[in-house]
Amino acid sequence: MITTPIVSEEAWHEARERLLVTEKEVTQARDALAAERRRMPRMTVERDYRFEGPDGSVSLLDMFEGRSQLIVYRFFYEPGVHGWPDAGCTGCSLMADQVGHLAHLNARDITYARVSRAPQANIATLKSRMGWDAPWYTITDDFDRDFGVDEWHGTNVFVRDGSEITRTYFVNLRGDEALGSTWSYLDLAPLGRQEEWESSPDGYPQDPPYSWWNRHDEYPAGE
């Protein structure tokens, strides 16, 4: 039952304008938080973590797919998870359904991937059932324990300089709820949206807004 009062058109617009002030404050605070996130110190990844992919063993470096930034979501799909082997964690599945077309992240030099402890054969079956096409790897060592995702889902962010990898950010629990849109992941990424209006450290790549936006099938080859 919706119990808020019914008012005139004029009163409704007045209430909307009052709320808009707060909404703009929240947007500005979110932008400021993303700017602070881009200035976080980094942590060197010292171990050579290994995963299984559809074509065999890969390293964390391989998961970048040649790009400079990597976002990794820990998806709970493995023996012991409710629904195994026919389904993964319900919350993780909801998260996966939210993720936008990855071509837009790729265009900003970002790779998105998922990791689980399920074998690749099971992952392939679940991806087919659910219509998911994001890269998805099998954890084979202590990656989940070392990066805070052995008991709960979470999103880790990395950047590479050549073959040197550093961890730049981590979010889990309710912090993951709002993720899924291209913009939400760009705001977690080390280089951000890379647009001129953003507050970023000197030397970060930045373009005018709209200049890089494209339909997902029209980005230049290789992005």
pLDDT, one tens digit per residue, over 90-127 is 999 999 999 999 999 999 999 999 999 999 999 999 99
Question: 45 falls in which pLDDT band (50, 70, 90)?
Answer: very high
Angle formed by the axes of helices 90-98 and 120-130, to 10°? 60
- The CA-based angle 72-183-189, given to 5 degrees, is 45
Instruction: Provide the whole-model pTM.
Output: 0.96
pLDDT at residue 67 in the model = 98
For residue 13, pLDDT over 80 is answered with: yes
Mean pLDDT of 195-205: 97
- Measured from the Cβ of residue 9, the count of other Cβ atoms closer than 10 Å reads 7
Find out whether 200 and 38 touch, Cβ atoms under 8 Å: yes
Residue in the block written with tokens 């689980």: 116
Confidence band of 1 (pLDDT split at 50, 70, 90): confident
Query: 11-188: what CATH class?
Result: alpha beta
Per-residue pLDDT, 222: 75
Quick check: helix, strand or coil at residue 155?
strand
| Spatial separation of the C-alpha atoms in residues 26 and 118, rounded to whole Å | 39
CA dihedral 9, 13, 14, 15 (to 10 degrees): 100
* Banded pLDDT at 34 (limits 50, 70, 90): very high
Under a CB-based contact definition with an 8 Å cutoff, are residues 152 and 91 in contact? no
The pLDDT value recorded for residue 48 is 97
| Residue boundaries of the structural domains of the chain | 11-188
Length reported for the chain:
223
| 57-93 pLDDT, tens digit each | 999 999 999 999 999 999 999 999 999 999 999 999 9
Q: How far is CA 98 from CA 32, 36, 134, in A?
A: 24, 25, 12
Stretch 139-160: mean pLDDT:
97
From 94, 90, 53, select the one nearest 177 (Cα to Cα): 94
Which residues are paired to 71 by β-bridges? 112, 157
